[in-house]
Amino acid sequence: MNVGIIGLGYVGLPLAVAFAEAGHDVVGLDVDPRRVERLQRSESDVEDVPSERIRAVVERFSATTEHAKLADCDAILICVPTPLANQREPDLSYIVDAAHALSGVLKKGQVVILESTTYPGTTRERLLPILEESGLAAGRDFHLAFSPERIDPGRTDHTIRTTPKVVGGLTEACRDRAVEVYSEICDEVVPVSTPEAAELTKLLENIFRSVNIALVNELAMLCDRMGIDVWEVIDAAATKPFGFMPFYPGPGLGGHCIPIDPLYLSWKLKTLNYRARFIELAGEVNSAMPEYVCVKVADALNDRERSVKGSNILVLGVAYKKDIDDVRESPALDIIKILQHRGANVSYHDPFVAELRTEDHGDGHGGGAKLKSVDLLPAVREAHAVVIVTDHSSFQYPKIVEAAQLIVDTRHATKGIVSDKIIKI
């Protein structure tokens, strides 16, 4: 089978390599010529795909910027970004651009599968009409389906092979053809009745996490007022063998999925004159956490007769979760910005992120000041407060606590360490 992948980022590249490793010829397309040039040299910029894996399939994988090379593919997977526009509305421009380019080379018998996370109706209402500008009819001349990506950056216990793949087709034949494609690289494929059902499945998965994280974030604020250790409460509740699933508070949500996906559904429902109040409330609670963390820092400094203004504050970890280099939508960016606006001298240390801009929310091209990761222990000693935002496994927390004047721990990273220097959310 010849497989085409449009978009070679953290979703597309792992898929491309997986198909190549399964013995299929893969054409990977990306609009960024620099990324394509790196991949042509077998150099990966996706942490979950070491360059060695690309070199091992170099005879079956090629990278290009030319859509014409997709014409001979049996299956074409669209794995492009779906960010939010300035008004917090879904930006489908990447999908639309890919569809227009694809419609010019589409051939009979091909199957097109959208993987990009989006709102229910996108495949049928936006992708389908553009592809049919080719003169071919979906369900008759070519197949069309949606299958949500389930990539979790940095995770090794669940892979593309072992993670069940949900597939919804425009017709039964479309669904069956997409199932055949994914069966080559996935042990289990889960068919659903429509593309809309598959699109909403992805949103539900992340809304579930968003709502439950908001619940424990609010519980953390309530426990703080009552003088109760929220971490102890969660751990105790987690001993119940049924009816409870532990979620943990933190400095806010990060990454492309959990902070963004609920807004896709909320936007869609507004077009139907329905307000998703529960989902929106969860978003409000989670979005308020960086401010809450900064208040905790200010209060802790005040107890030590210092103000935020003029204080040296070290942010420990800026990736949106532990042991990866991804800073998209990371709460650390908001925490740094808030503290800077209040006059603090803010630095950061992250072994995975050498530098970042505080205003770009992870795309590397925004405004704001550029910061570089500083040496850890010297910065800890110089800081009036250290804020643990990302609990990387490599951090030696006992040494950090010993060297610090004050620790504000947003991740329960210092569990088991007894010190009056530690303040937890």
Strands 370-372 and 385-388: unpaired
| Start-end of H helices in 369-425 | 376-382, 397-403
Q: Which residues are catalytic?
A: 257
Q: Regarding predicted confidence, which is higher, 362 or 286?
A: 286
CATH of domain 2-193: 3.40.50.720
Residue 221: what pLDDT?
96
174-221 pLDDT, tens digit per residue, is 999 999 999 999 999 999 999 999 999 999 999 999 999 999 999 999
Res 95 pLDDT > 90: yes
70 token code pair = 């997709």
Query: What band does 359 get if pLDDT is binned at 50, 70 and 90?
Result: low
Percent of the chain with pLDDT over 90: 87
Query: 209-424 adopts what CATH topology?
Result: Rossmann fold (3.40.50)
Nearest of 149, 85, 157 to residue 116 by alpha carbon: 149
SS3 content of the chain, % helix, strand, coil (to 5): 40, 15, 45
128-163 pLDDT, tens digit per residue, is 999 999 999 999 999 999 999 998 888 888 999 999
The H or E element containing residue 94 is helix 93-103
C-alpha angle 377/380/383, rounded to 5°? Answer: 150
Do 316 and 386 contact (CB within 8 A), yes or no?
yes
Residue 86: what pLDDT?
75
Query: What band does 365 get if pLDDT is binned at 50, 70 and 90?
Result: very low
Domain with CATH 3.40.50.720 in the chain: 2-193, 209-424
What distance in Å separates the CA atoms of residue 162 and residue 177, rounded to the nearest whole number?
A: 20
Q: What is the mean pLDDT of residues 307-327?
A: 96
What distance in Å separates the CA atoms of residue 20 and residue 22, rounded to the nearest whole number?
A: 5
408 token code pair = 């504000």
- The Cβ-side half-sphere exposure at 161, using a 13 Å CA radius, reads 7
